[in-house]
Amino acid sequence: MEDERDTLIEQILRLRRTFNRAGRPAREWLAVDLTLPQVKVLYLLYSAGRLSMRPLAEALGVALPTLTPIVDRLVERGLVEREADPQDRRLVVAHLTAQGADTVERLQQVGRGRFTSLLESLSLEELQAVAAGFAALCRAAQRRAESEASSTSAANAPEHREPRGEEVACAR
């Protein structure tokens, strides 16, 4: 039984690699004049809404002095704004501008459109199988997010933490 699970997991990982390679980068993504760290900041702020600089740096796995010039360039381009936190003026909070949110949504739409095109080429039976598979993956992601949230909150109970944008919403 465990051997079959391992074999299936390996098969799925191989299929995922093949699928990802077949989906060559869209021109819109190649034309984006942003560095990967800048794109990461945009996506983190898009999902979180507002983040102070320290949690943003931690989410990226970089030091605060590394994050500052990344955010500076995004501010210069009008994609991000920084302001003092109303509850603690010592903290600086970053959030997307309307242009920053539009940029993220445009990039997401590129992927969504390409994926929709692929789905439209499937038969009804194939669509049902894909839907069932994604529902199972979504439930697993939800369980993992809940487990990580409960272990994180137990470890950091006295400390206030800002939302990290990792919540997974699964359609039931």
Contact 153, 127 (CB under 8 A): no
The domain ranges of the chain are: 2-121, 124-172
Give the pTM: 0.62
pLDDT tens digits, 40-90: 999 999 999 999 999 999 999 999 999 999 999 999 999 999 998 888 888
- Distance linking the first and last C-alpha atoms of the chain: 28
CATH number of this structure's domain 2-121: 1.10.10.10
pLDDT tens digits for range 5-21: 999 999 999 988 888 77
| DSSP sequence for 96-152 | E-HHHHHHHHHHHHHHHHHHHHHHHTS-HHHHHHHHHHHHHHHHHHHHHHHHHHHHH
Chain mean position to CA 14: 23
